[in-house]
Amino acid sequence: MISPTQGFFVTGTDTGAGKSVACAWLVRVLDADYWKPVQSGLEGETDTQMVQRLTGLPGQRFFPPTFSLTQPLSPHESARRDGIRIRLDDFSLPTSSRPLVVEGAGGLLVPLNDQDYMIDLIRQLGLPVILVARTTLGTINHTLLSLEALVRRNIPVRGIILSGPENRANHATIATITKVAILASIPHLDPLTPATLARVAPLAHDLG
């Protein structure tokens, strides 16, 4: 499907689109390792902890964030409050013998500092993108804007994961307009457990 040295950067159309659940699903189906470069907010279960819980994989399969910021805010503001400045040069891909699933924070134009955005980090890391989009009202606009930003920067997109209640009309419209493969549709999982995640259908398209 993909070579062991490859990986994917998972970003969302906005905050709360379902990136972490999508990452857990990808880690399972690809037998991948996981890395969250920037974690904003440390109270409760972090994204890395959620993905580890949902996959049941050992801790060595999860690389620590480059920045663990205390406040659940945009990275630039959370870093400011912590007295930290995020720089693109601070980041480098972890070395892994497995595919690597990298999870962003928020959407593509979330600021990391006063001049760099999450999309700049994606371009620097050089990984193709998997875009997580909601299924609900507004998703077509958000998805098209996100894809337009990626195309303008010549960042390859390997597919879209839809997250939320089934919406066949939005699914069909996004597939038809974007011509980007929809890899999976992940419904709202309640409860959110390894067992419910395991019932999500396998990859609908090859990632190679």
Residue 202: pLDDT band (50, 70, 90) is confident
Strand partners, 100: 7, 33
Asked if the structure places residue 29 within a domain, the reply is: yes
Asked if the structure places residue 185 within a domain, the reply is: yes
Q: What is the pLDDT of the chain when averaged over all its residues? A: 94
Query: Rounded mean pLDDT of 11-20?
Result: 94
Percent of the chain with pLDDT over 70: 97
Q: Is 103 helix (H, G, I), strand (E, B) or coil?
A: strand
Asked if the structure places residue 193 within a domain, the reply is: yes
> Over 70: is that where the pLDDT of 5 sits?
no
Asked if the structure places residue 53 within a domain, the reply is: yes
Asked if the structure places residue 2 within a domain, the reply is: no
Q: How many domains does the chain have?
A: 1
Asked if the structure places residue 206 within a domain, the reply is: no
Catalytic positions, written as ranges: 36
Asked if the structure places residue 63 within a domain, the reply is: yes
Query: Rounded mean pLDDT of 187-194?
Result: 95
Which structural domain, as residue segments, surrounds residue 172?
7-198
Tokens of 50: 């959620």
* Complete DSSP assignment for 124-174: HHTPPEEEEEESSTTHHHHHHHHHHHHHHTT--EEEEEEESS--HHHHHHH
Residue 4: pLDDT band (50, 70, 90) is very low
Strand partners, 69: 40
pTM here is: 0.94
Asked if the structure places residue 203 within a domain, the reply is: no
The domain that holds 184 is classified in CATH as 3.40.50.300
